[in-house]
Chains A and B, each alone.
Chain A
C-alpha cells in the first residue's frame, strides 16, 4: 500500500519529516530523510536503542545520528553503524513521483 506524503520539496536536503502512523495507517511512525546524496530514504522513526525520534536526528551524508545518544544508522539499509544501537532499523521504500513523495507502507 502506498501513502501520499505530499510534495518532496517540503523536506530540504539534510532534513527529515516524521510521518505519523495515525495519518499514514502504517504500523509505526516513519521518518523520511532527504539525504545529502540528494535522495530520499525512509526508516522506522524510533531509534532501536531507546525512545528517541530519528526524524530529529542529524543527517550526515547518507547516515542519520540519533539526537539522544548518537547511535547512527545507514539511511539506505537501516544498518546500525555504531553503539549504543545494536539492532538495525526497519527501512521503507519511498519514491518521488512527479514531485510527490510516495511511501510504501
Chain B
C-alpha cells in the first residue's frame, strides 16, 4: 500500500465485525482500489463463514491470513466496544457486528449449547465425535439452524429429537405449505419430532409437554437477534437493528455505516441472510470509494438438510395467497407467494436448480407468470423466465 501519499495517508476505514459483511466490505474495497487504511476487527480471529457451521459443523475461513497481509489489511483479533466517531471526511466507521444467538429462557437453560459461532460448532462436533453410537441429542427449535443441525447430527449417527413449538416452523419464511412439508421430512429421515415447547432443561434431559426426555447433548437453536451493543453505546438509532438509509448510512451520521445482520433499512424488515449482508457490503464499499452503488437484488437464501437444497426468493410476509407446484411424483417442488394485487413476491423451492434464478429475474423485473405456468412442473426455469421477456 502506498503510504507515502500524504493525502491518502489519513484515509481510513475501521470495520467492527468480520463476518461475511465485514469481510466482503474489505474485499470490495480492495477490488475497487481503495487506497486508505483498512482496519478489520473481530474477537473471533481469522474471518470465517457461518453457513457451514450448522451443515458441516466446520469452520471455513474466507481467506488465509496471508491474504490480509498481502493486501495491507490490518486484521485485529479484538473486540472494539467504544470506537471513536470519525472526524474527517475520509475516515469511516463501519459497524458489521452481526447477530448473536437468542438465549433460551426456560429453567436449566445453561445446560443447552448454542450453535452460532465456529467455536460452538467445533465443540458440538467434538461432543458428537466422542459420544457413543446413537447418542441421544435434543435440539430445541426447528428453525433454519435447528433443522440443519438435526440433519448433521443424524448423519453423525446420533439419535435426534427435534423440539418445535409448531408443526410448521418457519411458515412466515418458507410459506406455510413448504414449512409443513420440510418439517415432515425430518421424520422420514429418522429424526423424532416433538411438536411441543421445551419447558425445562437439565444436565441430561429436557422436559416437553410434561414429559421428561433423556439427552446426552442439548442444543438450543431458538433464533438470532441483532447485536447492536456497540451502536447503542455510541448513541446511534437502534430499532430491531441499527437503522440505516439506502446507502447504509446510519441515520443522522455522515461517516458511520452499518451493514449485515446488525443493520436494518428504514421501512424494511431486517434482512438476516448471507447474500443480503454481501449486498450491504458492496453498497458500503461504493459509498466509501465514491462510486455508483450496485443495485440491491431481491432477497435470496438457501438452506441444506437431509439432501434437500432449499431456496427462498423474495419475502413471504408480503404474500397473501399461495400457489404450489407439485412434481410428477406428487412431491412439493415449490410454493409461490402472491401479494394482494396478484404480483409474485415470494417463492420457496426444493432442489429447484435454476428455478430460483428465473424467479429472481422475474421479481426484479416485476413480472408475474400466469398461475398455470407457476403450478405446472413442465414449465422449466428458462421458459418461466421468458414469460417476463415477451
- Interface on A for B, CB 8 Å cutoff? 14, 56-58, 65, 67-70, 82-84, 86
Closest to A68 in B: B309
Given the known A-B contacts A14-B382, A83-B20, A84-B49, are A69 and B302 also in contact in the complex, defined by CB atoms under 8 Å? yes
A96 CB to nearest chain B CB (Å): 23
Q: Is the interface of A mostly helix, strand, loop or mixed?
A: loop
**Contact A70 B354, beta carbon cutoff 8 Å:** no
Chain B residues with CB under 8 A of A70: 275, 300, 357
Given the known A-B contacts A84-B49, A86-B62, are A67 and B278 also in contact in the complex, defined by CB atoms under 8 Å? no
Tell me the residues in window 255-307 of chain B with beta carbons closer than 8 Å to chain A beta carbons.
275, 278, 300, 302
Q: Which single member of A58, A82, A83 contacts B354 (CB below 8 Å)?
A: A58
Docked CA distance A70–B297 (Å)? 12
- Could you say which of A82, A83, A84, A86 has the most chain B C-beta atoms within 10 Å of its C-beta? A83
Interface residues on B, range: 10 to 19
Q: Which single member of A58, A82, A83, A86 contacts B357 (CB below 8 Å)?
A: A58
Docked CA distance A33–B13 (Å)? 40
Chain A residues with CB under 8 A of B357: 58, 65, 67, 70
Closest to B49 in A: A84
Beyond A82-B278, A83-B24, A86-B27, 7 additional contacts (C-beta under 8 Å) are: A14-B382, A56-B353, A58-B381, A67-B353, A70-B357, A83-B278, A86-B62
Q: Does B63 contact A (CB under 8 A)?
A: yes
Chain A residues with CB under 8 A of B300: 70
- Interface on B for A, CB 8 Å cutoff? 20, 24, 27, 49, 62-63, 275, 278, 300, 302, 309, 353-354, 357-358, 381-382
Q: Which single member of A14, A56, A86 contacts B63 (CB below 8 Å)?
A: A86
Closest to B304 in A: A68
**Contact A56 B354, beta carbon cutoff 8 Å:** yes
Docked CA distance A86–B47 (Å)? 14
16 A-B residue pairings within 8 Å (CB atoms): A14-B382, A56-B354, A57-B354, A58-B354, A58-B357, A65-B357, A67-B354, A68-B302, A70-B275, A82-B278, A83-B20, A83-B24, A83-B278, A84-B49, A86-B27, A86-B63
Closest to B52 in A: A50
Interface contacts (Cβ under 8 Å), in number, total: 27
Closest to A67 in B: B353
Closest to A84 in B: B49
Closest to A15 in B: B382
Docked CA distance A82–B302 (Å)? 17
Chain A residues with CB under 8 A of B24: 83
B246 CB to nearest chain A CB (Å): 20
Chain A residues with CB under 8 A of B382: 14
B227 CB to nearest chain A CB (Å): 22
Closest to B20 in A: A83
Closest to A57 in B: B354
Chain A residues with CB under 8 A of B27: 83, 86
Docked CA distance A65–B361 (Å)? 13
Chain A residues with CB under 8 A of B358: 58
Chain B residues with CB under 8 A of A58: 354, 357-358, 381
Name the 10 nearest CB pairs between A and B, nearest first: A58-B357, A58-B354, A83-B278, A67-B353, A65-B357, A83-B24, A67-B354, A86-B63, A56-B353, A69-B302
Chain B residues with CB under 8 A of A69: 302
Chain A residues with CB under 8 A of B49: 84
Closest to A58 in B: B357
- Could you say which of A14, A58, A65, A82 has the most chain B C-beta atoms within 10 Å of its C-beta? A58
Docked CA distance A56–B353 (Å)? 8
A31 CB to nearest chain B CB (Å): 14
Chain B residues with CB under 8 A of A86: 27, 62-63
Docked CA distance A82–B278 (Å)? 9
Docked CA distance A63–B353 (Å)? 17
Chain A residues with CB under 8 A of B302: 68-69
